[in-house]
Amino acid sequence: MERLQKVISNSGYTSRRKAEELILNNKVLVNNEIVNTLGYKVDDNDIIIVEGNLINKKVNYKYYILNKPREVISSVSDDKNRKTVIDIVKCSERIYPVGRLDYDTTGIILLTNDGYLANMLIHPSHKIYKTYIAKINGILNELDFKNIRNGIMIDQRKLTIDYLKVKNIDKIKNTSLIEVTIHEGRNHIIKRFFEALGYDVLKLSRIKFANLSLNDLKSGEYRELSKEEVKSLYELVK
């Protein structure tokens, strides 16, 4: 048995929040009766009709990775009409990005209509690793490394860095390229991490998400995941 709003959103008809609104607005029938309570549970035999449309519980799951360019929003729509990741990835199913990259951040982002896997991957308990390359306006010193080892406080919560490596230093321009791996998903977390150390992030790119890498995907390119890749994502959240 699953909650009605979850079954509706998992079918790809609409988001969980919109499904809740539809239920509360008497727009959902289960076995020909209006159901307008959010706790209602259904099973595979129940016939669900939303705004006159039969909900197909058998979903055609799709999984893509995109190398997100700069100046693209990682959500399904944008109130300022800016380009979104959904404008780039052509898919007949209602896919959405798993987690967020900032408007000016580039790199790997997963898109899917598999609500279960998406929720599992962003849940903090699963410690999904993400690797970024950040260009910062400075050069890390001994004190910075000591602070990083001890854990940096961001909004009264310690951020643990899983891996950090200085990839390149430009002494003339006073900039560095730093590779950072974290398992956190807080908003703007990499920028806030460097800000806490006193540096600005000039450029940010995500090169790895869970066990997925961009390999030869160029900016703006995307590809569907193989069955093996999807299976290995499921392994990570077991």
Q: Give the footprint of ligand URA on this chain (CB under 6 A).
A: 101-102, 105, 188-191, 204
Q: Taking Cα atoms as reference points, which of 68, 77, 142 lies closest to residue 105?
A: 68
CB of 201 to ligand URA, least distance (A): 7
- Here the tokens at position 148 are 């990083």
CB 174 within 8 A of CB 137: yes
Nearer to ligand URA, 40 or 222 (CB): 222
Just list the catalytic residues. Answer: 102
Nearer to ligand URA, 74 or 113 (CB): 74
CB of 156 to ligand URA, least distance (A): 18
Nearer to ligand URA, 102 or 144 (CB): 102
Pairwise CA distance, residues 99 & 77, whole Å = 14
- Here the tokens at position 18 are 């919109």
Question: Taking the CB of residue 102, how many other CB atoms lie within 10 A of it?
Answer: 16
Nearer to ligand URA, 4 or 108 (CB): 108
**Collapsed DSSP state (helix, strand, coil) of residue 125:** helix
- Quote the crossing angle between the two packed helices 142-150 and 189-197, to the nearest 10°: 130
CB of 52 to ligand URA, least distance (A): 40
CB of 50 to ligand URA, least distance (A): 34
Query: Residue 57: exposed, middle, or buried by beta-carbon count in 10 A (0-12, 13-18, 19+)?
Result: middle
Nearer to ligand URA, 135 or 191 (CB): 191
CB of 202 to ligand URA, least distance (A): 12
Cα torsion through 76, 81, 82, 86, rounded to 10: 30
Secondary structure percentages of the chain, helix, strand, coil, to 5: 25, 30, 45
